[in-house]
Chains A and B, each alone.
Chain A
Amino acid sequence: MNKKIKPWSQAHSAKTFATLRNLQSTIHHAKDIEQDIRILARQLKEQTVTTQIYQLDKNIETNLRHLQKVFSDGDDVIIRRLLVSPARQKAALIYIEDMADQAVINNHIIAKLTCSCFGVDNNRNSDNLAGSITNILTAGSLTETMEIQQAVQRVLLGDTLLLLDGVPTLYIIATRNVKLRSVSPPDTEPTVTGPRDSFIEDLRTNITLVRRRVNNPNLVIKKSVVGQRSHTEIAVTYLKGVVNYKYVCEVERRLNNLQIDMPENLAIQNLIADHPHSPFPTTQQTERPDRFVSALLKGRVGIIIDGMPFAVLVPTVLSDLFKATDDYQEKWMTATAIRLLRYIVAFFALSIPAMYIAITAFHPAMIPTPLALAIGISREGVPFPSFLEALIMISFLEIMHEAGIRLPRTVGQAVSIVGGLVIGDATVRAGLVSSPLVIITSFTAIATFSIPDYRLALAIRLLRMPLMAAAASFGMYGLMIALLIIFIHLSNLESFGEPYLAPLIPQSLLRLDDLKDTYIVAPTSVRTVRPTYLEPEDLTRQDPTK
Chain B
Amino acid sequence: MNPSTRITPLQFLVLTISITFGTSILTLPRKLAKIAGENMWMPVLLGAFVIYFSFRISLQLAALFPNYTSVAYHRLLLGNFGGTLLNIYLLTLMVLVTALFLRLFVTAIKIYLLDLTPLIVVTSLLTLPVIYAAQYGLIPVLRLVQFIILPAYSLFLALILLGFLSVKTTNYQPVLAEGIKPVLLGIPSTWMSYSGIELLIGFLYSSITRPKALVKFGLAAIVIIAGLYLLISLITLGILGAKNTMHILVPTIMAYRSVEIPDTFVERLDGYLMVIWIAICFDAQIGWIYFSSAIIKQMFDVEYVRPIVALLIPIIIYLVMLPPNIQAIDKLSSLVNLAGIVWGLIILPLLLILALWKRKRNDEC
Q: Distance (Å) between the CB of B152 and the closest chain A CB?
A: 10
- A interface footprint on B113-136 (CB within 8 Å = 1, 0 otherwise): 110010001100110010011011
| Interface check B265, CB cutoff 8 A | yes
Closest partner residue, chain A, to B263 (CB atom) = A368
For B144, list chain A residues within 8 Å (CB): 487-488, 491
Query: With A481-B125, A501-B147 known to touch, is A366 a contact of B271 (CB < 8 Å)?
Result: yes
Complex CA gap A490/B148 in Å reads: 11
Q: Distance (Å) between the CB of A348 and the closest chain B CB?
A: 13
Closest partner residue, chain B, to A492 (CB atom) = B140
Asked whether, in the complex, the Cβ of A363 is within 8 Å of the Cβ of B143, the reply is: no
| Interface check A396, CB cutoff 8 A | no
Selecting from A74-82, A397-405, A503-511, the interface stretch reads A503-511
For A371, list chain B residues within 8 Å (CB): 265
Asked whether, in the complex, the Cβ of A363 is within 8 Å of the Cβ of B271, the reply is: yes
Q: Distance (Å) between the CB of B147 and the closest chain A CB?
A: 5
| Interface check B9, CB cutoff 8 A | yes
| Interface check B272, CB cutoff 8 A | yes
Q: Distance (Å) between the CB of A367 and the closest chain B CB?
A: 7
For A490, list chain B residues within 8 Å (CB): 147
For B271, list chain A residues within 8 Å (CB): 363, 365-366, 476
For A477, list chain B residues within 8 Å (CB): 109, 113-114, 122, 125, 278
Asked whether, in the complex, the Cβ of B275 is within 8 Å of the Cβ of A487, the reply is: no
Asked whether, in the complex, the Cβ of A484 is within 8 Å of the Cβ of B148, the reply is: yes
Q: Distance (Å) between the CB of B137 and the closest chain A CB?
A: 10
Complex CA gap A422/B4 in Å reads: 56
Query: With A481-B129, A485-B129, A487-B144 known to touch, is A509 a contact of B113 (CB < 8 Å)?
Result: no
Asked whether, in the complex, the Cβ of A506 is within 8 Å of the Cβ of B129, the reply is: no
- A368, A488, A489, A501: most-surrounded residue (chain B CB, <10 A): A488
Q: How many A-B residue pairs have CB under 8 A?
A: 96
For A480, list chain B residues within 8 Å (CB): 275, 278-279, 282
Query: With A363-B271, A499-B143 known to touch, is A474 a contact of B117 (CB < 8 Å)?
Result: yes
> Which residue of A365, A481, A492, A508 contacts B209 across the interface (Cβ within 8 Å)?
A508
For B117, list chain A residues within 8 Å (CB): 474
- B11, B122, B140, B143: most-surrounded residue (chain A CB, <10 A): B143
| Interface check A86, CB cutoff 8 A | no
Asked whether, in the complex, the Cβ of B129 is within 8 Å of the Cβ of A507, the reply is: no
Complex CA gap A508/B132 in Å reads: 25
Complex CA gap A365/B262 in Å reads: 14
| Interface check B268, CB cutoff 8 A | yes
Asked whether, in the complex, the Cβ of B10 is within 8 Å of the Cβ of A507, the reply is: yes
> Which residue of A365, A474, A478, A505 contacts B268 across the interface (Cβ within 8 Å)?
A365
For A499, list chain B residues within 8 Å (CB): 139-140, 143
A contact residues, range: 20 to 34
| Interface check A353, CB cutoff 8 A | no
B contact residues, range: 35 or more
> Which residue of B109, B129, B146, B268 contacts A366 across the interface (Cβ within 8 Å)?
B268
Q: Distance (Å) between the CB of A362 and the closest chain B CB?
A: 8
For B267, list chain A residues within 8 Å (CB): 367-368
Closest partner residue, chain A, to B4 (CB atom) = A497
Q: Name A178-214 residues within 8 Å CB distance of B.
A: none
Q: Distance (Å) between the CB of A464 and the closest chain B CB?
A: 18
Closest partner residue, chain B, to A505 (CB atom) = B146
| Interface check A289, CB cutoff 8 A | no
| Interface check B8, CB cutoff 8 A | yes
Q: Distance (Å) between the CB of A322 and the closest chain B CB?
A: 14
Asked whether, in the complex, the Cβ of B9 is within 8 Å of the Cβ of A488, the reply is: no
Complex CA gap A504/B145 in Å reads: 12
Asked whether, in the complex, the Cβ of B265 is within 8 Å of the Cβ of A475, the reply is: no
> Which residue of A368, A481, A488, A505 contacts B133 across the interface (Cβ within 8 Å)?
A488
Closest partner residue, chain B, to A502 (CB atom) = B143
Q: Distance (Å) between the CB of A209 and the closest chain B CB?
A: 36
Asked whether, in the complex, the Cβ of B140 is within 8 Å of the Cβ of A491, the reply is: yes
Q: Name B1-21 residues within 8 Å CB distance of A.
A: 8-11
Q: Distance (Å) between the CB of A280 and the closest chain B CB?
A: 14
Asked whether, in the complex, the Cβ of B275 is within 8 Å of the Cβ of A476, the reply is: yes
Closest partner residue, chain A, to B135 (CB atom) = A492
Query: With A368-B267, A474-B117 known to touch, is A508 a contact of B125 (CB < 8 Å)?
Result: no
Query: With A477-B114, A492-B140 known to touch, is A487 a contact of B147 (CB < 8 Å)?
Result: yes
For A368, list chain B residues within 8 Å (CB): 262-265, 267-268
For A487, list chain B residues within 8 Å (CB): 144, 147-148
Closest partner residue, chain A, to B146 (CB atom) = A505
Report A's interface with B, CB cutoff 8 A. 362-363, 365-368, 371, 474-478, 480-481, 483-485, 487-492, 499, 501, 504-509
Report B's interface with A, CB cutoff 8 A. 8-11, 109, 113-114, 117, 121-122, 125-126, 129, 132-133, 135-136, 139-141, 143-144, 146-148, 150, 209, 262-265, 267-268, 271-272, 274-275, 278-279, 282
Q: Beyond the given A487-B147, A491-B133, A492-B132, could you list 13 further A-B residue pairs with CB under 8 A, ordered by the A residue number? A: A362-B114, A366-B271, A476-B113, A477-B113, A478-B125, A480-B275, A480-B279, A480-B282, A487-B144, A489-B132, A491-B140, A499-B140, A505-B143
